[in-house]
A and B are shown apart, each in its own frame.
Chain A
Amino acid sequence: QVQLVESGGGVVQPGRSLRLSCAASGFSFSSYAMHWVRQAPGKGLEWVAAISYDGSNEFYVDSVKGRFTISRDNSKNTLYLQMNSLRAEDTAVYYCAKEITNHYFDRWGQGTLVTVSS
């Protein structure tokens, strides 16, 4: 069955960096666009970034442009989110999500918590 397992979260100081990973299994990873979606504690969902099936196209929400980079390694069935210059407002559970078609998300990981605090 489809599994998405995030890792790499933790507590980090403002201005520092963190890299999240999402290990995928149970489907043809290289055939699907993938996304990161986050949820601040007690808040709603916020889409963060997307990458096309082959890594040739990337999209970001304005608040992370220039700071976050989404990437993928199809040989390892793994999605990444490199987060630089972290801010307190980046504190959230980060989910990786698989597209069903055309930017809807049919499978989600369990999430990894990122806390930005001094």
Chain B
Amino acid sequence: EIVLTQSPATLSLSPGERATLSCRASQSLRSHLAWYQQKPGQAPRLLIYDASNRATGIPARFSGSGSGTDFTLTITSLEPEDFAVYYCQQRSSWPLTFGGGTRVEIK
């Protein structure tokens, strides 16, 4: 099973600041990684797939990068609605796995 480790666990930032979230895999994923956003009481929402492709309707302030074992989700300028929990997910091999999440909170 591929283990995904997200860091930091919590990121405390102010609106307008840049957020950089990390996801590290226990083995190479090539580019087979996605990012999701989840707000309290809601289902997750797909942001990025195949490491760097924005899903339909996702604002350009969200971007993904990386390959192999190290991946990054960047939010260039945090909007109030961006404060949430973010998960990475790999599809490189079964079972599909998620990282433990990074909470982006208002400082």
Contact = CB atoms under 8 A, between A and B. Distances in A.
A47 B98 contact: yes
Please classify how large the interface on chain A is, using the bins under 10, 10 to 19, 20 to 34, 35 or more.
Answer: 20 to 34
Given A104-B34, A106-B55, A47 B43 contact: no
A104 B89 contact: yes
Contacts of A95: 43-44
A47 B44 contact: no
A23 to B, nearest CB: 15
Given A100-B55, A106-B55, A108-B44, A46 B98 contact: yes
Contacts of B101: 44-45
A44 B96 contact: no
A61 interface: yes
A51 interface: no
A110 B43 contact: yes
Please classify how large the interface on chain B is, using the bins under 10, 10 to 19, 20 to 34, 35 or more.
Answer: 20 to 34
B96 A47 contact: yes
B44 A45 contact: yes
Contacts of B44: 45, 95, 105, 108
B96 A50 contact: yes
Contacts of A100: 46, 49, 55
Interface in A42-85: 44-47, 50, 59-62
Given A45-B38, A104-B50, A105-B44, 16 more contacts: A35-B96, A44-B87, A45-B36, A45-B98, A47-B89, A47-B95, A47-B98, A59-B94, A61-B95, A62-B95, A95-B43, A102-B32, A103-B91, A104-B49, A106-B55, A108-B44
